[in-house]
Amino acid sequence: MESKTVITYGTFDMFHIGHLKLLQRAKEYGDKLIVAVSTDEFNEQKGKKTLISFAQRSEIVANIKCVDEVISENSWEQKPDDIKSYKVNTFLMGDDWKGKFDYLENLCNVVYVPRTEKISSTQLKKSLINFTSIPKEDILRAFEVIEVLKRDFE
C-alpha cells in the first residue's frame, strides 16, 4: 500500500494548542506529515512580526510527535513545487484560509479544517501587549496586596 503524504504551512509563532490540534488533524489524513514553517524573511515580506526565531519555531514543530518532517516556507509560490517534490496527496490548512488554495486541487486533495476556537497567535500577542502595558508599579502593588491577604488568611 502506498503511503499518503500531507503538507501544511504556517508561522507557528508562540506555539499553542490550536497549532497542536491543526497538526494532529493533518496527520489523520495521511501516513507522513510535512510542515512548512515560514522563515523570518518570508514573514517580514508578509508584514508579520514574530516573537520566536525561525530556527526555534522549526525545532519546536520538528519535535511534535505527529510531525515527520519540517521544511522552510520561503514564498507563496513554492507550494506547487513542494507538492510535486514531496509527492503530496493532501494539502491542509485551517478554514480561515478557505478557498485561498483551491488552485492546488489539480495537484492534490485540498482540505480546510476548523480552527480551534478562542485561541490564536494574534490573540496571544494582543494579550501580551495588554499585560506589558500595565505599569510596573501597579503590578508590584498587586503583589503586595496579595502578600497581605495571604498573611490575613494564615
37, 72 contact by CB (below 8 A): yes
Residue 151 in grid coordinates: 498573611
Which distant-in-sequence residues (6+ apart) come within 8 Å of 75 by Cβ?
A: 42, 45
Catalytic residue among 4, 32, 48, 125: 48
36, 22 contact by CB (below 8 A): no
Catalytic residue among 21, 46, 65, 126: 46
Planar angle of CA 98, 101, 104, nearest 5 degrees? 140
Is-catalytic flag, 21?
Answer: no
Is-catalytic flag, 49?
Answer: no
Which distant-in-sequence residues (6+ apart) come within 8 Å of 76 by Cβ?
A: none
Q: For the CA atoms of 88, 93, 97, 101, what is the dihedral angle to 10 degrees? A: 0
Which positions are catalytic? 46, 48
